[in-house]
Amino acid sequence: MVQTRTLVHRGHPGRRSHKFPRRGERLLFGLIGFVVVLPLWEIVVQAGLIKRVTLSSPSLIATAAVNDLFIKGTLWPHLFASSQYFVLGLGLALLTGVPLGLSLGLFRRLNFFLDPWLSAIYATPTIALVPLIVLVLGLGLESKIFIVWLEAIFVVVVSTMAGVRAAEARYLDLAKSFRASRWLMFQSVIVPSSFPFILTALRLGTTRALVGVVVAEFFSANKGIGFFINFSGTTLRTDRVMLGVIILGLLGVAMGEGVRRIERRYEKWRPDIN
């Protein structure tokens, strides 16, 4: 006994447990990146080592942000247009993708039938389809929504389908032993089992839809964040390009966090969260 005890102490000489990292550590090291990189970037540009027009600089981007967001407010119509494409495209992807994923998980033959098509959609870069989509749907709202939908639907379908497969045999057996109808089994076992996967679908779909928005706006728009970035690039306004990119990044992070909050709220019955 005594020996074991000394061994334990010798093995961990005053070392902190892995489970409890210092609280501030994450924030501290996270900030270092910004504190070092941003001034360095500014200095390099100010000193003329790199041209303003190629890389812009933090101060220029900040000025553009203040101008476009507050003083002139030129960015808002673009943001509004983008969110419209995003919400409609992703909403449609969920409305169609979740039922489709559930059906594909439930019906094997439907799965065999649709699988090659889904794989083809996934393998084809959406950009390659843009000319065709524009040709068929025109340059209006429809083509943008379709591009966003196309970009997001695959992950929604696949993730939801995995959820159906994840329904545990013991719950299905239980429902069977009580002679539950197929419909009741579906709503009491299969849907709740796949719910965490549907939330994952939402999270992955969000990221993909954002990509879809940019793709749609790059090639066939006269408004939207993607258009703003593209147009600013062609007019050599690198500060605005950077501003657009940063806004997209922030939106992506914010929405990811939003979905994670929803996940936490709806998973009351799960003992461990995260």
Residues contributing to the site for another protein (CB under 8 A)? 170-171, 173-181, 184, 188-189, 192, 195, 268-271
Q: Which is nearer to another protein, 25 or 272 (CB)?
A: 272
CB 215 within 8 A of CB 147: yes
Least CB distance to another protein at residue 210 (A): 30
**Of 229, 202, 201, 203, which is closest to residue 214 (Cα–Cα)?**
229
Q: Which is nearer to another protein, 21 or 192 (CB)?
A: 192
Least CB distance to another protein at residue 169 (A): 10
DSSP string spanning 166-217?
Answer: TS-HHHHHHHHHTT--HHHHIIIIIHHHHHHHHHHHHHHHHHHHHHHHHHHH
Least CB distance to another protein at residue 177 (A): 4
DSSP string spanning 95-131?
Answer: HHHHHHHHHHHH-HHHHHHHHHHHHHHHHS-HHHHHH
Q: Which is nearer to another protein, 8 or 169 (CB)?
A: 169
Q: Which is nearer to another protein, 70 or 178 (CB)?
A: 178
- Angstrom distance (rounded) from CA 164 to CA 161: 5
Q: Which is nearer to another protein, 192 or 258 (CB)?
A: 192
- Angstrom distance (rounded) from CA 196 to CA 266: 9
Q: Which run of H or of E encompasses 34?
A: helix 23-46
Least CB distance to another protein at residue 160 (A): 16
Least CB distance to another protein at residue 182 (A): 12
Q: Which is nearer to another protein, 106 or 174 (CB)?
A: 174
- Angstrom distance (rounded) from CA 215 to CA 131: 12
CB 145 within 8 A of CB 90: no
Q: Looking at residue 90, what DSSP letter applies? A: H
Least CB distance to another protein at residue 156 (A): 21
